């Protein structure tokens, strides 16, 4: 298959008898004339720029249809475009199709030219297809976007999704990803359309006027306030002892790429403080270059006489003095197991009911001197850096991710493979027991072996102090249906609800009541 560059060269070749008007009309039609900012101009617009009648431009386009329809390379291109649309549920924006074509065919040019050439090739393929007796796809455009779809019904459905996406993006607070999908599923779809969740969300945002998709599949408004984006990205910043301004900006933009950019210092100091993110600028850190550091230390005391806000172990629960309820016994046993794991160093898969996941994360970090690792955050940072180094657009990565095992999934897995050594090295650099949260991408990208390698490094001089893996679910240690590689059952334990309620500390009933009130 010819590259985008070679295809564009074929399109721009004109005959010796083609006049200046014809030649310029071709460049205008393909969106390659700098005088027009519209990348998909109508024939009426072209006629106005060239200063000829609309009928004359129609003649030019008709001649191009005949010429291009005889080109075997362009005919193969049209078949590729039809397959792309089919793989994406029957509808794509012109931008999506151009980006997908770049991944499939490649270009030696840099942006913005490579994107312009890809769009020109797509336009030519669409133009020829619509001149066929039975076109496989058609174009529908409005003021904001150009859609290429298998039918008018499918295009109209995409428009309705876009309108709903705009409404969802304006919600405050942002809707959870599951709720976003529920709302979009309520939009009536043609019987022929069946979109996976990820594609549904991305299509809705693509066709919308101002909605964007976060790395967690939320819908948020493009240009979202930087302070709000920072506050919503706290999970990507937790568990790090030191972060530079650039690292903070990269992590926030990785989660909300279309939000307003974060400011530099010292305005960023104020935003961090307002967001409740406990990072303080240290001008001496990083060999005098300066960075943000976490002031947190080991916050908890294990002594039973502690009167701090932390947990307190005691001999008395909710029963009479000296009595120990079964729930309190479970909580104490779990507490002791964690203490042993911390002192001896071990790999533990901690399962907890999904509704208590966030609470378990907070309690574990508050109770023990752990390094919180948002796996999703560091993985996406590394993958984005790898994609940038390979000159692969992040939008292409996200688009490929919506169709596991199809299209360019193999190429995405190659990027993942190149990103993983950096992720693994970051984890190996930790100097205290890690609490790893949000590990779902390990399963999605077939990287569960990382857990095996890390577990073998626990307790070794050249390894890591310990690793606790927090998993939603009350039974088996699974990540999105894939089993966590455990040496034996001793590496898995369930977090008792009684431990989360602190029934193993003094004045259990009083404290439980206080917690319920605070909740």
CB 499 within 8 A of CB 334: yes
> Are the C-beta atoms of residues 349 and 472 closer than 8 Å to each other?
no
Find the helix or strand (DSSP H, E) in which 511 lies: helix 508-518
What pLDDT band is residue 286 in, cutting at 50, 70 and 90?
confident
- Say which residue, 477 or 51, is predicted with more confidence: 51
pLDDT at 356: 84
pLDDT at 405 over 50: yes
Per the listing, tokens 């001649």 go with: 63
d(CA 191, CA 142): 24
Report pLDDT digits (tens) over 162-202. Answer: 999 999 999 988 998 889 999 999 999 999 898 988 899 99
pTM of the model: 0.60
Query: Any residues with CB less than 8 A from the CB of 128 and at least 6 apart, and which?
Result: 65, 68, 69, 74, 75, 78
Residue 323 pLDDT class (50, 70, 90 cuts): low
Burial class (CB in 10 A: 0-12, 13-18, 19+), 510: exposed
97, two tokens: 């199709």
Q: Which long-range contacts (CB under 8 A, 24 or more apart) does 72-77 make?
A: 73/1, 73/2, 73/7, 73/10, 74/7, 74/10, 74/11, 74/124, 74/125, 74/128, 75/128, 76/1, 77/7, 77/121, 77/124, 77/125
Token reading at 388:
């940038």
Q: What is the pLDDT of residue 398?
A: 84
> What spatial distance separates the first Cα and last Cα of the chain, rounded to whole Å?
61
Residue 305 clears pLDDT 50, i.e. is over it: no
Q: Which residue has the tokens 């008792």?
A: 496
Report the mean per-residue pLDDT for the chain. 85
On the 0-12 / 13-18 / 19+ scale of CB atoms within 10 A, 421 is: exposed
CA distances for 196 relative to 85, 161, 225, 394, angstroms: 14, 14, 30, 20
Listed residue (493, 496, 498) closest to 509, CA to CA: 498
pLDDT-based confidence at residue 461 (cuts at 50, 70, 90): confident
Give the 3-state secondary structure of residue 18: coil
């Amino acid at each position: 298959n010819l590259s985008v560059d070679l295809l564009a060269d074929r399109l721009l070749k004109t005959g010796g008898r083609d006049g200046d008007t014809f030649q310029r009309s071709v460049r205008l039609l393909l969106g390659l004339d700098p005088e027009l900012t519209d990348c998909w101009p109508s024939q009426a617009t072209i006629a106005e720029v060239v200063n000829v009648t609309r009928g004359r431009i129609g003649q030019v386009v008709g001649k191009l249809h005949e010429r291009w329809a005889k080109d075997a390379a362009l005919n193969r291109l049209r078949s590729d475009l039809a397959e792309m649309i089919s793989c994406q549920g029957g509808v794509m924006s012109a931008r999506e199709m151009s980006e997908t074509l770049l991944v499939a065919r490649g270009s030696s040019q840099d942006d913005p030219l490579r994107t312009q050439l890809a769009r020109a090739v797509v336009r030519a393929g669409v133009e020829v297809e619509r001149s066929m007796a039975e076109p496989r796809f058609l174009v529908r455009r409005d003021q904001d976007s150009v859609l290429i779809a298998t039918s008018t019904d499918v295009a109209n459905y995409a428009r309705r999704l876009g309108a709903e996406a705009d409404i969802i993006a304006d919600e405050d607070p942002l809707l959870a990803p599951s709720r976003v999908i529920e709302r979009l599923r309520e939009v009536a779809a043609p019987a022929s359309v069946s979109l996976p969740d990820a594609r549904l969300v991305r299509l809705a945002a693509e066709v919308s006027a101002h909605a964007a998709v976060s790395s967690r599949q939320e819908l948020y408004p493009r240009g979202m306030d930087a302070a709000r984006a920072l506050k919503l990205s706290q999970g990507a910043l937790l568990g790090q002892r030191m972060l530079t301004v650039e690292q903070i900006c990269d992590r926030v933009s990785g989660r909300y790429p279309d939000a307003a950019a974060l400011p530099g210092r010292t305005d960023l100091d104020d935003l961090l403080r307002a967001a409740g993110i406990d990072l303080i600028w240290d001008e001496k850190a990083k060999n005098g270059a300066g960075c943000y550091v976490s002031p947190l230390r080991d916050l908890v005391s294990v002594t039973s006489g502690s009167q701090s806000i932390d947990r307190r172990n005691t001999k008395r629960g909710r029963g009479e003095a000296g009595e120990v309820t079964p729930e309190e016994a479970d909580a104490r046993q779990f507490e002791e197991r964690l203490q042993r794991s911390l002192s001896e160093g071990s790999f533990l898969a901690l399962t907890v009911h999904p509704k208590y996941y966030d609470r378990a994360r907070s309690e574990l970090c508050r109770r023990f001197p752990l390094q919180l690792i948002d796996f999703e955050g560091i993985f996406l940072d590394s993958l984005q850096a790898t994609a940038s180094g390979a000159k692969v657009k992040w939008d292409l990565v996200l688009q490929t991710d919506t169709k596991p095992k199809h299209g360019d999934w193999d190429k995405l897995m190659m990027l993942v493979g190149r990103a993983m050594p950096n992720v693994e090295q970051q984890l190996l650099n930790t100097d205290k027991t890690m609490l790893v949260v949000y590990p779902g991408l390990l399963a999605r990208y077939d990287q569960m072996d990382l857990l095996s390698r890390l577990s073998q490094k626990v307790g070794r001089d050249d390894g890591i102090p310990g690793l606790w893996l927090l998993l939603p679910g009350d039974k088996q240690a699974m990540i999105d249906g894939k089993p966590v590689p455990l040496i034996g059952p001793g590496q898995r334990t369930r977090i008792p609800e009684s431990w989360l309620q602190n029934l193993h500390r003094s004045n259990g009933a009083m404290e439980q009541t206080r917690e319920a009130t605070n909740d």
